Amino acid sequence: MTHRIADTFYDALAKLTPQEQKQVKTSAFDFQMDPSLPGLGMHRVDRARDPDFWTARVNRDIRMVIHKKAGQSLLAWVGHHDAAYRWAETRRIESHPRTGAIQIVEARETIEEVIVQRYVEKAVELPRPLSHLDDDTLLSWGIPTDWIDTVRDVTDETVLDIAGHLPTEAANAVLSAAVGETPIPATISENGADPWEHPDTKRRFRVLDNLEELQAALDAPWEKWAVFLHPAQQEYVDRNFNGPARVIGSAGTGKTVVALHRAARLAENTNGRVLLTTFNRKLADSLAQKLPQVASAGTLGRITVEALPVLISRLHQERFGDVEIVDETSLRHFLEEAASAQGIAVDPDFLFDEWTLVVDAWDVATKGAYRELPRLGRKVRMAASRRDALWEVFRAVSDRLNHAGLKTEAQLAHDLSKAGDFPFDNVLIDEAQDVSVAELKLLGASLGGRPNGLFFAGDIGQRIFRAPFPWSAAGIELRGRSRSLKVNYRTSHQIRSQSDRLLPETLIEADGNEESRTGITSIFDGPAPTFREFRTIQDEISGLRSWIQDRLAYDNVPATELAVLVRHASDVPGVESALDLPKVQVLPMHDAKGAEYRAVAIAMLNDGVLPDESRLLAAKDEAQLDEVMNTERHLLYVAATRARDHLWMSGVAPTSEYFADLLVR
Ligand SMILES: Nc1ncnc2c1ncn2[C@@H]1O[C@H](COP(=O)(O)OP(=O)(O)OP(=O)(O)O)[C@@H](O)[C@H]1O
């Protein structure tokens, strides 16, 4: 017998409690060992549209739905008794008449009562963006025959619901077409080809040759993206570029997923040395964890996954030997000493920023260069005479560092740029909006002109660590090689649309390019986010604790899938002990970058906490104030968009001014 497991089985399994999941795994094992085992109580589903659906008993309440036919079995779904029967009664498994792919097709009538009824009165007046499409086109997208009319009738309001009931390739095509893109037709099998060999079939059903494979399949979550990319994602995975390219898009649109697949593709199809990187170690670790889902074991060894600062320091060490990095306190001290030795009165923070963001970042080596340099990343204007005077301070500090054998992190990157032998051919950079000037300059100098040399994934709306600067000045020209993703896979429609209110509809990059953030769709619905304002911190903690307990108890959210985020790391221990829920993680918002959870609670959103008052007070002028306001706003956007299904935000009155933006448009 050939045993298979469907992606729908995983989705359903994930919704059960850990205890139930354990029992399901045992029953799946029993079934694969002996499908006729009496304890499984195999039972044909009576009223099913497809006569080959059976149920197997896991415990008093839970049933697995199994499709069983002529030497083949498929674990299709699992859940509570009534839901399992309903699932099986309303589906059939068949090969698509045009593409040949095997699909699990939902009976169209089941959604009529839910969707058509809900929208029918309105639908008559609303535009139907797909109404002009003929059967042939819709079939070529893999739309099941009896869904064709329903798809032609979608409106902006129903498209999400309808797509959620279609096989993935059909849903992807419908969502693309609804936002004005041209879907790529599905693969068509040759006449007589085995439908189980169709690429779309293989994406949703896995063959399980033995019990070890079943064990591995049940233990490792099967990320859908590992198998089914959106055509817009696929394009940026496959395309060859004759210079640096970039995928952008708001949070959760699958930019990281594209970078992972592209890294695997380049390693598989070329002899290039591939680097998959990002701006810090934690995010690099998470890339390394995900990569095995898309790259074969043989290819994995050919992809280096390392954070840029770690890589740069390693390469520098290998080439130039040990160096000592100057710490911030010493550097500030050197700058201040040099300024007073020159008799220059200057604000110490300004001096430090000028060194860090201009002189050191851009590797300015001469007075002339400093005078001529555009004020990259700095909005403060400065007279030439003032620059000349300051230059003497920077030169003195530079000499002092040289004599002491000390370097800055930026200098390590500059040294490597000059040495000119960066040991990679293809570099993919995730969370690129937070990469430093020196790192980007090194990448630009090494691979900026090489086909497929540099590929960036990022979102300027999530820039929280670095001041903006024009990439072209770092040798990165993206003209015509940047595209944005529009389908959000992570966050429910309700959470995404509310979080989007934090950012303007158009963001402008330091190069002057505009990025529109409109036209994004989420692929699923969920409960509205909860916003609460409290009188005291005690009230807030107790409200938050009951919200968390409800999520754990009623929504089956495992504690590992829930995170409480706060603005300041120093508040973490206090919130942890006040909440007294040992399994629930509390972390600073910055640490949640790149992560995702089923439920997120953002607490202590008080006035003075976000935006962080100490940063606001340290700002020296309007420009710096703007920058602080922007990065703090981005930080809240990052935190809110970590949530898949449930989001809570709370503070003690008066709450953060961003609260008002979230609530009112
Ligand atoms: N084609 C797809 N099918 C199903 N799920 C997908 C697809 N693409 C991405 N996802 C899922 O969407 C979520 C977000 O993906 P990813 O982390 O790549 O987004 P991102 O754009 O990098 O987000 P962020 O900017 O917030 O870091 C992940 O859970 C990922 O598994």
**Contact between 521 and 181 (Cβ < 8 Å):** no
Lowest mean pLDDT among 253-267, 290-304, 318-332: 290-304
Q: Identify the domain containing residue 389 by its residue range.
A: 336-407
Q: What integer is the mean pLDDT of 531-544? A: 96
Say if 217 falls within a structural domain.
no
225 lines ligand 1 (CB under 6 A): yes
Per-residue model confidence as pLDDT tens digits over 314-361:
999 999 999 999 999 999 999 999 999 999 999 998 899 999 999 999
Say if 497 falls within a structural domain.
no
Lowest mean pLDDT among 237-241, 456-460, 478-482: 478-482
pLDDT level of residue 595 (50, 70, 90 thresholds): very high
Type of residue numbered 482: S
Say if 46 falls within a structural domain.
yes
What is the torsional sign of CA 236, 237, 239, 241? positive
Atom of ligand 1 nearest to the CA of 250: 25
In angstroms, what is the span from residue 435 Cα to ligand 1's centroid? 20
Q: What pLDDT score was predicted for residue 658?
A: 92
260 lines ligand 1 (CB under 6 A): no
| Of the candidates 613, 572, 275, the residue with the CA atom closest to the CA atom of residue 452 | 275
Q: What integer is the mean pLDDT of 585-614? A: 95
594 lines ligand 1 (CB under 6 A): yes
Atom of ligand 1 nearest to the CA of 172: 1
Say if 51 falls within a structural domain.
yes
> Given strand 2-6, what is the order of strands in its sheet?
43-44, 53-57, 62-69, 72-80, 2-6, 205-208
Q: What integer is the mean pLDDT of 412-422? A: 95
Percent with pLDDT over 70 in the chain: 95
573: Cβ–Cβ under 8 A, 6 or more apart, which residues? none
Contacts 24+ apart (CB under 8 A), 25-32: 25/218, 27/56, 27/57, 27/58, 27/64, 28/64, 28/75, 28/214, 28/218, 29/211, 29/214, 29/215, 31/56, 31/64, 31/66, 31/73, 31/75, 32/3, 32/208, 32/211, 32/214
Q: Is a pLDDT exceeding 60 seen at residue 221? A: yes
254 lines ligand 1 (CB under 6 A): yes
Q: Is a pLDDT exceeding 90 seen at residue 108? A: no
Q: What integer is the mean pLDDT of 81-105? A: 95
Which residue from 235, 237, 253 has its CB within 8 A of the most atoms of ligand 1, so it is best to mutate?
253
Per-residue model confidence as pLDDT tens digits over 13-22:
988 888 899 9
Say if 631 falls within a structural domain.
yes
Q: Is a pLDDT exceeding 80 seen at residue 513? A: no
Instruction: Say if residue 310 is in the same domain as residue 347.
Output: no
Which residue from 172, 175, 225, 287 has its CB within 8 A of the most atoms of ligand 1, so it is best to mutate?
225
| Of the candidates 496, 488, 442, 431, the residue with the CA atom closest to the CA atom of residue 464 | 431
Q: What integer is the mean pLDDT of 517-522? A: 81
In angstroms, what is the span from residue 272 Cα to ligand 1's centroid? 26
Q: From CA 227, how far away is CA 203, in angstroms rounded?
A: 5
Per-residue model confidence as pLDDT tens digits over 543-582:
999 999 999 999 889 899 999 999 999 999 999 999 999 8
Instruction: Say if residue 192 is in the same domain as residue 246.
Output: no
489 lines ligand 1 (CB under 6 A): yes
Q: Is a pLDDT exceeding 60 seen at residue 122? A: no
Q: What integer is the mean pLDDT of 253-262? A: 96
Please state the domain count of the chain.
Answer: 4
Atom of ligand 1 nearest to the CA of 431: 27
Per-residue model confidence as pLDDT tens digits over 619-655:
878 888 988 999 999 999 999 999 999 999 999 999 9
Q: What integer is the mean pLDDT of 360-381? A: 80
Q: From CA 389, how far away is CA 374, in angstroms rounded?
A: 17
Per-residue model confidence as pLDDT tens digits over 427-461:
999 999 999 999 999 999 999 999 999 999 999 89
**Domain boundary residue among 485, 500, 529?**
485
Q: What pLDDT score was predicted for residue 665?
A: 44
CATH of the domain at 532: 3.40.50.300
Instruction: Say if residue 396 is in the same domain as residue 275.
Output: no
Name the DSSP letter for residue 293: G
645 lines ligand 1 (CB under 6 A): no
Instruction: Say if residue 473 is in the same domain as residue 556.
Output: no
Which residue from 489, 600, 634 has its CB within 8 A of the most atoms of ligand 1, so it is best to mutate?
489
CATH of the domain at 58: 3.30.2310.20
Say if 112 falls within a structural domain.
yes
Is this prediction's ipTM beyond 0.90? yes
Instruction: Say if residue 237 is in the same domain as residue 284.
Output: yes
